[in-house]
Structure 1
Amino acid sequence: MGLLTIGAFARASRLSPKALRLYDELGLLPPARVDPYSGYRLYDPAQLERARLVAWLRRLGMPLADIRAVCELEPEAAAREVRAYWARVEADTAARRDLAAFLVDHLSGKDTTMSSDHTTLRIHYAVLSDTGSVRESNDDAGYAGPRLLAVADGIGGGRRAGEAAIEALKPLDAGVPGGELLSALEEAAHRAHESVSALAASEPALRDVGTTLTAMVWSGSRLGLVHIGDSRAYLLRDGELFQITHDHTVVQSLVDEGRITREEAASHPQRALLLRAVGAGSAFEPDFALRDARAEDRYLLCSDGLTGVVPTEEIQRVLASEDDPGTAVRELVALAIRAGGPDNVTCVVAHVAEQAALTTA
């Protein structure tokens, strides 16, 4: 079979001539030959496979720059890239779904601070931080209050950056109306970023300071979550443990892209290298989420001093078996110490309970 005109190739590939001209300009799908007299683009039938792949990837919503990279890979590597892209899409969709549900409730005039049976939720909480067995000082910071839980792991300047970030969030512990939860949390996160940036500018020795930040704010039965870095938040619900944050690390990105396994990530030499943080010269791009809490839920916020050495199964066992948050944080920290305690470790545990709301005559 000879070369195909752009019209014939468009019909065979199910791409429009306009799209083919764009992909030619971008170097994504150049024609096999351009007639020197007429300027017509001519395509080799062998290019149909690449053209169809481009069409499928566009239907997935993949950006053109990413499609170009995928098309240059061997099939197995290309499959890993597509899998990693779709994992990111699903994570983003889940976050958008939670936000959409919140906005529907808010705009419909539903009371987001009280459930239909006139009960509201409260939390029992505890926080514990330890230097560990190796480090000389504790760079972690933690906070637990009736409406705010937070963990921060300082970078480059001791715990001052983490403390500054948490201090900027503390006004939220006074209470936030359900309809303002997300915006209040976002504003507080930016205040935290400004506080750490001001700290970095205050002394030459602190110019590279930064911190991770993982925090939750409660309003009735709804909670807002802000997360940046590699500290984590977990939810134990109905006996199952779920990690509800995503690590912003080089190693996690390699896992997401299918380049290494989770088992390989545990011993990777760059496992502590952050892609995002508050300060430290990193991009300030926190994740925000809204979640519905239930009675009997148990939440854990922790620094990587716990998750780096204590298996997930052990964390689940402690959260499920310890009914007192204070006992739970002590047991979790003890597990990290018994595992060698190579890093500072901070844990915040909160148990959700139902509380009858007050009524007025």
Structure 2
Amino acid sequence: MLAFAQSDIGMVRKTNEDSYIFSPPHLFLVADGMGGHVAGEIASNLGANTIQEYIKKCKQQFDWEQILKEAIIQANAIIYQMSQSKSECLGMGTTLTAIYAEGSEIFWGHVGDSRLYLIRDNILQQITNDHSLVGELVQSGSITADEALVHPHRNILTRAVGTSDTICVDSGRFLQQPGDRLLLCTDGLTNMMSEQEILSICLRPENPQTIVNKLVEQANQAGGYDNITAIVVEYRD
């Protein structure tokens, strides 16, 4: 396995509210915080660290899909509790997209509009669904993916970690094949680049570090209106 991660503040924002966990060969996670002042940064960091600590306590377990769901539910409870106890954190939340790799098997858990992609056989497949207003419009066929990129309400989430006392977590699992690449990223990347542009970079015969650097560079060249976080994991048998 080869992997690399990078988080960039972008060209407009004054703070980076994204967080990530890069813990090869097993745990990889991206989170995009939301909330006033520093609350988004607090939410994403708290969510990411909660999941990492939860995973560490479950090393002897094997149902990693269920464990990821439980970890995200715990992160939701902790973030929500803090948002209710501190006025400066009221309403804060975060997206969370995480994978746990166990050999050739990938387990994933997801809430929000950060994304997990699988690149296989020259195809970019979005594994996660966006929990956002435009994501639901795309899924229903009301608008196209290209229209979603410029939709005026593209930043409205319909589900996030920490904004309610309960949370519904999407999850799943699949088997990797030699040559597969996985991309975890926040919407600071996907709002700046089309999926065809992302695919063209991810297909390059270069290492994950070069791929991630190029993705971030191109997102910034397109405007860099948001924080950008990307992790690329390449599976080798």
Per the TM superposition, whether the score is higher than 0.5 is yes
1:22-171 to structure 2, matched below 5 A, reads 123-146=1-24, 147-156=26-35, 157-171=39-53
Residue 323 of structure 1 aligns to a residue whose secondary structure is coil
Distance 2:166 2:71 in 1: 17
> Pick from 258, 275, 282: which aligns with 2:158?
275
State the TM-score, normalized to the length of structure 1. 0.61
Give deviations 1:300-358, integer Å, cap 9, x for gaps: 0000000001121221122111431111111110011100101110001111112xxxx
Q: Aligned AA for 1:285?
A: C
Distance 2:167 2:129 in 1: 15
**Structure 1 position 263, deviation (Å):** 3.2
Between the two proteins, the alignment pairs up a number of residues equal to 232
Distance 2:140 2:208 in 1: 36
Q: Counterpart in 1 of 2:115?
A: 232
Instruction: Judge conservation of contact 1:137–1:158 (CA < 8 Å) in 2.
Output: no
> Pick from 283, 293, 299: which aligns with 2:176?
293
Judged with a 3 Å threshold, the aligned counterparts in structure 2 of structure 1 residues 173 and 222 are, in CA distance, closer, same or farther, namely: farther
Identity among equivalent pairs (%): 37
Q: Which has the higher contact order (CA 8 A, sep 6+)?
A: 2
Q: Aligned AA for 1:189?
A: I
Distance 2:104 2:41 in 1: 32
State the TM-score, normalized to the length of structure 2. 0.91
Query: As a proportion of its length, which structure holds more helix?
Result: 1
Give deviations 1:272-320, integer Å, cap 9, x for gaps: 1011110234862110101111221100000000000112122112211
> Pick from 160, 164, 188: which aligns with 1:305?
188
Runs of 5+ consecutive residues of structure 2 not aligned to the other structure? none
Q: Counterpart in 1 of 2:214?
A: 331
Give deviations 1:148-179, integer Å, cap 9, x for gaps: 01000001013111111111121426874673
Distance 1:229 1:260 in 2: 19
Q: Aligned AA for 2:21?
A: Y
Judged with a 3 Å threshold, the aligned counterparts in structure 2 of structure 1 residues 174 and 144 are, in CA distance, closer, same or farther, namely: farther
Judged with a 3 Å threshold, the aligned counterparts in structure 2 of structure 1 residues 176 and 322 are, in CA distance, closer, same or farther, namely: farther
Question: In the alignment, is residue 220 of structure 1 matched against residue 103 of structure 2?
Answer: yes
Q: Aligned AA for 2:73?
A: H
Instruction: Judge conservation of contact 1:178–1:220 (CA < 8 Å) in 2.
Output: no
Residue 294 of structure 1 aligns to a residue whose secondary structure is coil
Runs of 5+ consecutive residues of structure 1 not aligned to the other structure? 1-122, 355-361
Judged with a 3 Å threshold, the aligned counterparts in structure 2 of structure 1 residues 125 and 199 are, in CA distance, closer, same or farther, namely: farther
C-alpha root-mean-square deviation of aligned residues, in Å?
Answer: 1.9
Residue 197 of structure 2 aligns to a residue whose secondary structure is helix
Question: In the alignment, is residue 319 of structure 1 matched against residue 209 of structure 2?
Answer: no
Instruction: Judge conservation of contact 1:173–1:217 (CA < 8 Å) in 2.
Output: no
Query: As a proportion of its length, which structure holds more strand?
Result: 2
